[in-house]
Structure 1
Amino acid sequence: MHLYLIRHPRPTVPPKVCYGRTDLAVAQEEIASVKAALLPHLPRHARLFSSPLRRCTDLSDSLAQELDCETATRDERLAEMHFGDWEMRAWDDIPRPDIDAWASDMAGYRPGGGESVLEVAQRVRDFRDELSGMQIEHAIVVCHAGIIRLLAACEHGLSVPEMARYAAQKPHKIRYGELLIVDC
């Protein structure tokens, strides 16, 4: 299977704000720009999956039309990590001891009382295992940088705790609208 992992376009949110699971819009111009860059690299008639958050579904719906695909399957397991009380707060406004607690246990800590990376890794693994059983040639997944890192960790054959540690410790450089292609 060829897995086409796409990070959503830049949402309309101020810089340096924690927004994990918050459902944010994306400017139509941003969607159009990302779509134009992606289309030459994506297969037609592929199975399409998306995080249920608007910054992903707006792009996946637009891609489905252009690629002659069925509407994307919206899957909660592809949603970004929930940062609890940290959602929509400036990173500088989050108390330093809370940030330090997360830094000391990146995989297990639940920022703002939300989800831990370990919990997110388990739902991503469940999605990936189900996807493997579908016997499809091409799958396009529109989601988030954290989810992409975890899906990539699945391809290394890591256990769920190893996936969580891998994703939590590895800084990401996945740009908004970036495409990563994984051959499974």
Structure 2
Amino acid sequence: MPAFTIWRHPRPRGAAGRCIGGRTDLPVDPRKAKRLAHRIRAHARRHGLPREVVTSPLARAADVGRWLRRWGFLWRVDATLAEMDFGAWDGRPWASIPAPEFERWMADFCGFDFDGGEPLARLLDRAAAWQPCCALVVGHGGWINARQWRGGVPAPASWPPPPAYGRPTSIPSAA
């Protein structure tokens, strides 16, 4: 499997204090999407990479792909890169989620399906199975963490914080 670099999308508008996953398609400031696209384009030049990018279908990632397409990149969209689906929680303020529900998730961190969403175990499988079609990717914090996860069944205390918005993560080739 080839190596690739994945950037977390720019900070979306309206996400503060909310559970944001694959069902909530928030916009990003166009200037931030363009700024990230500039950084990806410079990275491609610096490393002699083909002008190709694949993104999640969600606007916060796809908007970056649209900029790159304007500048001559081949842009693909892959639903496999979408953020975890938080089901009935998706888009809700964290403060509105009842404590017993949150505790249910913590007790079954990997298997809890958020009342119709996607368990973390499924995201881990989806991210691990994904085969890159090019070296440049724009996606989501949860997906990036899932792709990099090494260490058995995750627990709440061991799950890493998401990477910063707009930052790259290099994923090496599988051995």
Report if TM-score (shorter chain) is over 0.5. yes
Equivalent residues of 2:145, 2:160 under 8 A apart: no
What value does the CA root-mean-square deviation take over the aligned residues?
Answer: 2.3
Q: Considering fraction of residues, name the structure with more helix.
A: 1
Which residue identity lines up with residue 106 of structure 1 in the other structure? F
Q: 1:25 matched to which residue of 2?
A: 27
Aligned to 1:52: 57
Flag structure 2 segments of 5+ consecutive residues without an equivalent.
none
Which one of the candidate residues 138, 141, 147 is aligned to 1:145? Answer: 141
The match for 1:106 is: 109
2:83 corresponds to: 80
Mean CA deviation greater in 82-91 or 44-53: 44-53
Q: Would the aligned equivalents of 1:81 and 1:120 in 2 still touch at CA under 8 Å?
A: yes
Q: Which moved more, 1:93-102 or 1:172-181?
A: 172-181
Aligned to 2:158: 169
The alpha carbon displacement at 1:95 in A equals: 0.4
Q: Is the 8 A contact 1:48 1:60 kept in 2?
A: yes
What is the alpha-carbon distance in structure 2 between the residues aligned to residue 117 and residue 111 of structure 1?
10
Residue 123 of structure 1: how far off its partner (Å)? 1.7
Aligned CA distance change for structure 1 residues 167 and 9 (closer, same or farther; 3 Å)? farther
Structure 1 length as normaliser, TM-score? Answer: 0.80
Normalised to the residue count of structure 2, the TM-score between the two structures is 0.84
Residues 9 and 34, structure 1, Cα contact 8 Å, conserved in 2: yes
Deviation at 1:125, TM superposition (A): 2.2
**Percent identity at matched positions?**
29
Q: 1:36-83: CA deviations, max 9, x gaps?
A: 3443323441542211111111112223444x43122x1111111111
